[in-house]
Amino acid sequence: MTEWPGDGKGEKGKAVWSELDIPAAWEQSAAAILRHRWRKILVLGAIDRGKSTYCVFLSRYLLAAGHRIAFVDADIGQKDLGPPATVALGYAETPQALAAMTPAALYFVGSVTPAGHLLPMVVGTKLLVEAARAPFVIINTTGLVHGIGQVLKGYKIEAVQPDVIVALSQGNELHALTRAYSTYRIFHLAPSPRARAKTPEQRRAARELAFYRYFQAASDVVLPRRALLFQRTPAPVAPDKPLLCGVADRRNRCLGLALLQDWDVRHDTLTLRTPVAAERIRVVQYGDLYLTPEGHELGRR
Ligand SMILES: Nc1ncnc2c1ncn2[C@@H]1O[C@H](COP(=O)(O)OP(=O)(O)OP(=O)(O)O)[C@@H](O)[C@H]1O
Ligand SMILES: [Mg+2]
């Protein structure tokens, strides 16, 4: 998981900020966004191109100019805000507040990759962008930009209707996508030479750690099945391994994640492991990732 570097730590914060390489074209894009008040900024790029770093940079740039920012993190695998498998919305008012940003709203997608979850990716991103109340809304996305990812990004653009797209690309890798959507305002930016690739193992470890931290505060809650509503799957079944689910309240607002551990048929009760208060849970949204509370991914449903 990319940390929001150094914010709120005074001199240390400054030092960490200065460790980032900010190419002149990045700075120019931020200056134009601020000057023209382009509100919805969609950041696209393949993996490791610096999407998260650009979002941090742009957030700090706009915050330093005195503007509150909303951040919508739709990179469900490599999260900067909120737990994996969710789209998350958060706010910051000052550069110092960036590091402490917590989700104001979540949308459960169902898994940690968009494949098989294109609809919730688009629906969740659109809903949280619409819900955002701030002069600037910065939207981060997954690095899946080819094949099905290209299709997803196209629909995301159409759903979100960004005022500007920031495309971080090496060579022509985003050409097909950005050409198809060249009706939109697009900044084509090169990644920083300081951009570093993460291995698949590092990505998995980052997700595991994020899940582990999230479920550290969880406990087992036993709920009568009849008190619950089930979404996202036509016929809910008892899983033989802990299944990642979303939980929502009686107004269908996502409250967070849960692991569906057991379905006691005799007592007709479900056991969920979740940090969410049991009395708030009305809806269970089935995901398709089996997961231990320690964050080990056990395969897909
Ligand atoms: N401008 C920069 N200055 C310094 N380091 C950078 C810069 N851009 C990227 N990096 C480094 O390169 C790595 C990848 O960057 P980053 O995590 O921002 O990419 P990403 O596109 O968000 O990746 P992911 O696909 O995993 O979400 C990180 O270690 C980051 O610190
Ligand atoms: Mg990222």
Give dist(CA 260, CA 91) in Å, integer: 30
Domains and CATH numbers, the chain: 10-189 (3.40.50.300), 202-300 (2.40.30.330)
pLDDT tier at 17 (50, 70, 90 boundaries)?
low
Q: Evaluate if residue 6 carries a pLDDT over 50.
A: no
CA 258 to each of CA 42, 120, 130, 148, 285: distance values in angstroms, whole numbers, following the listed order: 29, 18, 26, 28, 9
The CB of 194 under 6 Å from ligand 1? The reply is yes
Atom nearest to 75 CA in ligand 1: 27
Q: What is the pLDDT of residues 94-110, one digit of tens each?
A: 988 888 999 999 999 99
Atom nearest to 168 CA in ligand 1: 21
Q: Where are the beta strands (DSSP E) in the chain?
A: 40-45, 69-73, 86-92, 103-108, 136-140, 164-168, 186-189, 219-224, 229-231, 243-248, 254-264, 269-274, 283-291, 297-300
Q: What is the pLDDT of residues 269-297, one digit of tens each?
A: 999 999 999 999 999 999 999 999 999 99
Q: What is the pLDDT of residues 29-87, one digit of tens each?
A: 999 999 999 999 999 999 999 999 999 999 999 999 999 999 999 999 999 999 999 99
Tell me the CA–centroid distance for residue 263 and ligand 2, in Å. Answer: 36
The CB of 16 under 6 Å from ligand 1? The reply is no
Alpha helix segments (H runs only) across 66-191:
118-131, 148-160, 175-180
The pTM score is 0.93
Closest Cα partner for 78 from 167, 128, 143, 122? 143
The CB of 204 under 6 Å from ligand 1? The reply is no
Q: State the average pLDDT over residues 13-19.
A: 51
Nearest CA to ligand 1 atom 19: 50
Q: What is the pLDDT of residues 130-154, one digit of tens each?
A: 999 999 999 999 999 999 999 999 9
Tell me the CA–centroid distance for residue 27 and ligand 2, in Å. Answer: 19
Tell me the CA–centroid distance for residue 138 and ligand 1, in Å. Answer: 16
